[in-house]
Amino acid sequence: MNKLKRVLLFMVIVLTILVIYTIWDNNRVIIVEEDILVEDLPVELEGFKILQVTDLHEKEFGKNQQKLINKINSIQYDVLALTGDYLKSQNSENYLATYKILDCISNKEHVLYVPGNTDPVPRSINNKTVVKNPFLLGLEERGVKLLESVYTINYNGAAIQFVNFEVSTLNPLEENKSTVLIALNHYPIVDTRIDQIRENPNQHFPNYDLIMAGHYHGGQIRLPFLGALFVPEAWYERSGLFPPQNRVKGLWQYNNTKQYVSAGLGSSNAIPLLNFRFLNTPEINVLTLKRK
């Protein structure tokens, strides 16, 4: 076998291994854990756990979502945060990928939802009547609460509040220093937007203890040593091409505001022909509040 044939054979073997690995990797789920240090956290909230499940995009993990359901049911969490993009498009009617999960998870005491850009608008006006979309109605039937303003949980005698980020910037909150404040949003809040909100006299930026978001998919396509090649973010130069790697996923802090962005579960066609994840295992996230 001449040198050229050996090189071609080697390339075919490597490509085959990569394809097999990528298919396997796209169909498994890992649990990513992160401790969130909160200054002056009430001792009663030490160890409070938030499970984030986001950006499903109708992806199926095992028959009837059993792989994902088993992962969720293995976690002792206090709140389940759903931060959007469960459908492939706003016109999709494939609700079952999401409903199967909600039908079989064991802990639905506090399940909060904010829609993403591929989810249908929660409400519309029909003949001067406000109606909820069918997807939202199905979520509510399964115990999910659309987070529109403030949702307060009394936990061991202490209070923790969850807010819809976009709504909270428009309607000033009655802030209580003894209350932990967590905002949910589908889109990450980039540094320049935080500055813009703070400088706008018509908006309000509360003292969030944490902002939680999704949307980026961790970059979806990641390369060794380089990280994410693209995130769908209009606020960045080049519309998110070659983004700052410390703002793609995980926990970061800007001007005393902590933000956690999950890489999520599914994939999108934001980049044509690349509707899969590469070196980017689907994940759900467990955030545990700890005293700073």
Phi/psi class of residue 135: alpha, beta or left (left: φ > 0; alpha: ψ in -120 to 50)? alpha
CA distance 144 to 181: 20
Answer yes or no: are the C-beta atoms of 249 and 219 closer than 8 Å: yes
Regarding the domain with residue range 3-291, which homologous superfamily does it belong to in the CATH classification? Metallo-dependent phosphatases (3.60.21.10)
- The pLDDT of 141-145, averaged and rounded, is 97
Average pLDDT, the chain: 94
User: What local confidence, expressed as pLDDT, does residue 248 receive?
Assistant: 97
Give the other-Cβ count within 10 Å of 53's Cβ: 26
pTM of the model: 0.94
Give the other-Cβ count within 10 Å of 233's Cβ: 20
- The pLDDT of 187-195, averaged and rounded, is 97
Tokens of 105: 């998870």
Is beta strand 180-184 parallel, antiparallel or unpaired with respect to 210-213? parallel
- All residues at 6 or more sequence positions from 211 whose CB lies less than 8 Å from its CB, including other chains: 165, 182, 183, 184, 185, 189, 257, 258, 259, 260
Q: Is the pLDDT of residue 172 over 90?
A: no
The pLDDT confidence band at residue 16, using thresholds 50, 70 and 90, is: very high
Residue boundaries of the structural domains of the chain: 3-291
List pLDDT tens digits, range 56-76: 999 999 999 999 999 999 999
CA-based end-to-end distance of the chain: 64
CA distance 210 to 247: 15
- All residues at 6 or more sequence positions from 119 whose CB lies less than 8 Å from its CB, including other chains: 84, 85, 86, 87, 90, 135
Q: Is the pLDDT of residue 29 over 90?
A: yes
List pLDDT tens digits, range 197-216: 999 999 999 999 999 999 99
- The pLDDT of 258-282, averaged and rounded, is 91
